[in-house]
Structure 1
Amino acid sequence: MEISTEGSVRGMFTCETCDLSTPFTYYGQKPPNTRAIVLLEESYVLKDPFSPNRDKFIVLGAKCTLCSMVVCIGTDCSLFYTKRFCLRCVRENLDQFPQQIQAELAKKKVPQHT
């Protein structure tokens, strides 16, 4: 896996749901200059431009586990429940999620798939 030089832009991250687009500096589970941090998913990461601390970063998004669509971590675009899921896949497989997740999504008016 290619690791970018500290802080250098490696590419553009674009959410395929909301079209959020921003440069990213790393893709993977272990961002550079972090000591013991291992992310739970392969993520698009940006070095925090607001912090002089070189080990600070912002997780932008990841690929949906089911369909591989690139989505941001925004609650209108994806859900993380052990893995990342786009909301389209969540709706299509809502009955596979725990009741608590189903109830939370019902509050947000995410229609159940029948």
Structure 2
Amino acid sequence: MAQKINGKCRPDPEQISRLQNILSSIPSEEEFYQNSEILKALSDPTRLKIIYLLQEGELCVCEIMHALEKPQSTVSHHLNILKNAGFIKWRKAGIWIHYQLSCPEILEHIQEITTMMK
């Protein structure tokens, strides 16, 4: 049971030991940072829509622009964030860049998480 010392709540030795065990098993600060960056990449409706658009396979940037009804600069910005987070990969064909999901199963995982939270 937590103890009050000088009006402040402090964990007892058993609680401290339990907390140390928990802390030793969780990811490092760097891993938390990396994971938060990955999750941030999915936190935008436009980026989620791009993930959904790519579920059937590769699309050219011009197709994504048309589907989103957004200018090239906006689409490129979102694609770059998804690419840096590892969600999509690309290849250049002439003047256009084509994108596809790095891991097609990502959409299933996104749907699973969002369904669990409803």
- Structure with the bigger percentage of helix: 2
- TM-score normalized by the length of structure 1: 0.21
Larger radius of gyration between Structure 1 and Structure 2: 2
